[in-house]
Amino acid sequence: AASPRAIAPRATLGTRRAGRDASIRARRILGRRRRRRRDARADAIEDERAMEDDDTAKRVDAASEVLDKIIRETVEGIFLEEAATEVLNEASAANEREAVESAVDKRAVLRAVVRSHFEELDGSFLAALGAYVRASEASGDLQLVSLLNAIKEETLATVTDSLTDEMQVVQLVARLKSNEERFEVIRVAHAGGGRALGDVDVPGVSVEKIERAAAQLIDELELQEQIPNWDLLYQVIVVRETARQLSKAADASGVYSDVVVSGSFAPSELPKAESALIKELVVVNTVAQRRALLAQMFDETRDKLDQDFDRSSGKVKLKKTTRGFQPRVERAAATAAGLDSRDLRPGRFIDSVINLRVSLLREGEESTPVVTRLGEIYYEMCDVVMENANVG
């Protein structure tokens, strides 16, 4: 009989082989299960993204439908008013009475139409309106461009009626042409309100509340996947920086010297795109070159983000975007090659310059040259913002 010592190795070898085979099978089964789980997770993520895209597409389509209705109803309303006036004039002529000389108030017709759809307007409406304007400009339809701009003005005016005092001041200051006018209105508001610029009623609001209201609106505009209205964004940035320059927190050079809180990044950190641009600008010694670089980068930002619109249909092309300093995976190659201007935002860039300057001020005299340069960049960026605001 074989001794237990002679059998044990064979048994152990068979057991090991069986165990190895079982382990291989188990790994294969687990691998298939992991792949199925990964596939299921990927499918779930894609489904979630598809749902988000569908929801965004529905909002954009709804906004486009509202805009179509406003255009149609305005044109029809003006036509009916003009037709009624013409009929009255013909009747007056037939009866040898004085003709009706009052012209049709087209602005009143438009105002009534916009207000009738006020509850349907949301953040997607201005984005749709901007797409319509660009498509109309591209096709050379200047009459439609004029109507669309009038719709934008009436929409903003209608919204203003329901705004808080600070937002009314922001809206008022955003339309002013000169620094002197903006300073006057904000000073009157800060002093308790009253008349400014001769005949403009200004509610009483502190400089700090005006700055916070403008900053909040800028965050809301810049955190959207598509900037709904570039003119409005730049105009509100002008308001915010005017309020900051009048604030107690402004230093002797007029630059805001307190940490600002943004909705898109933490005060202790700088967004990657804005940080990269600041690094490029700090080593440029001439004002003209820095301003040219700023203008170029933010023109590129606007142009590239506007390419997310399908100009042929006026609808938004849904693409993933980034907020703050979260990188875009699909742009890894572009980011590795250099700064991607699509990740820049003008309001966030100014906040980044201010916060970096504040942190360097605390380091003492050794940082003075960089602090001075950042102050220059701040004012140069304010100039670029003014050039893009299209105020007045």
* 172-193 residues labelled b (16+ CB within 10 A) or e (exposed): bbbebeeeebbbbbbebbbeee
Instruction: Confirm if 203 and 179 have CB atoms less than 8 A apart.
Output: no
Instruction: Give the pLDDT score at 113.
Output: 86
pLDDT exceeds cutoff 70 at 4: no
pLDDT at 372 over 60: yes
CA distance 207 to 226: 29
**pLDDT tens digits, 52-98:** 456 556 767 777 888 888 888 888 887 777 776 666 556 555 555 55
**Which pLDDT tens digit goes with each residue over 170-202?**
989 998 989 999 999 999 999 999 999 988 999
Distances (CA, A) of 243 to 206, 214, 323: 9, 9, 26
Highest mean pLDDT pick, 211-225, 241-255, 260-274: 241-255
Model pLDDT, residue 318 = 37
User: What pTM does this model have?
Assistant: 0.60
Helices 230-245 and 179-190 cross at an angle (nearest 10°) of: 60
- Residues pairing with 267 in the sheet: none
Query: What tens digit of pLDDT does each residue of 333-370 get?
Result: 344 346 888 899 999 999 999 999 999 999 988 999 99
**Rounded Cα–Cα distance for residues 9 and 29 (Å):** 29
Q: Tell me phi and psi for residue 31, to 5 degrees.
A: -60, -45
Does position 126 have pLDDT exceeding 80, yes or no? no
Q: How far apart are CA 11 and CA 8, in angstroms?
A: 5
Q: Specify the 3-state DSSP secondary structure of 230.
A: helix
Residues 129/309, Cβ–Cβ less than 8 Å: no
Query: In 3D, which of 176, 302, 189 has the Cα closest to residue 239?
Result: 176
How much of the chain exceeds pLDDT 70, in percent? 69
Q: Which residue has better confidence, 317 or 282?
A: 282
The C-alpha atoms of residue 276 and residue 293 are separated, in whole angstroms, by: 13
Kindly write down the DSSP assignment for every residue of 245-280, as one continuous string. Answer: HTSTTB-TTS-B-S----SSS-TT---HHHHHHHHH
Residue 193 backbone class (left: φ over 0; alpha: ψ -120 to 50; beta: rest): left
Structure tokens, 89: 């004039």
pLDDT at residue 40 greater than cutoff 80:
no
SS3 content of the chain, % helix, strand, coil (to 5): 70, 5, 25
Parallel, antiparallel, or unpaired: how do β-strands 194-196 and 200-202 relate?
antiparallel
State phi, psi for 195 to the nearest 5 degrees: -90, 140
Using DSSP's 3-state secondary structure scheme, residue 163 falls into coil
Question: Which residues does 278 contact at the CB level (< 8 Å), separation at least 6?
Answer: 270, 349, 352, 353, 356, 374, 377
CA angle 164, 167, 171 (to 5 degrees): 135
Residue 337: what pLDDT? Answer: 41
Nearest to 64 by CA among 22, 126, 107: 126
Task: Report d(CA 268, CA 351) in Å as an integer.
Answer: 12
Distances in whole angstroms, Cα of residue 65 to Cα of each of 115, 136, 142, 313, 367: 16, 17, 21, 13, 55
Q: How confident is the model at residue 30 (pLDDT cuts 50, 70, 90)?
A: low
- Give the HSE-up count for residue 84: Cα atoms under 13 Å, Cβ half-sphere: 10
Query: Using CA atoms, how far apart are residues 382 and 386, in angstroms rounded to an integer?
Result: 6
Q: At residue 6, does pLDDT exceed 50?
A: no
What is the rounded average pLDDT for all residues in the chain?
Answer: 77
How many Å is the maximal CA-CA distance in the chain?
Answer: 139
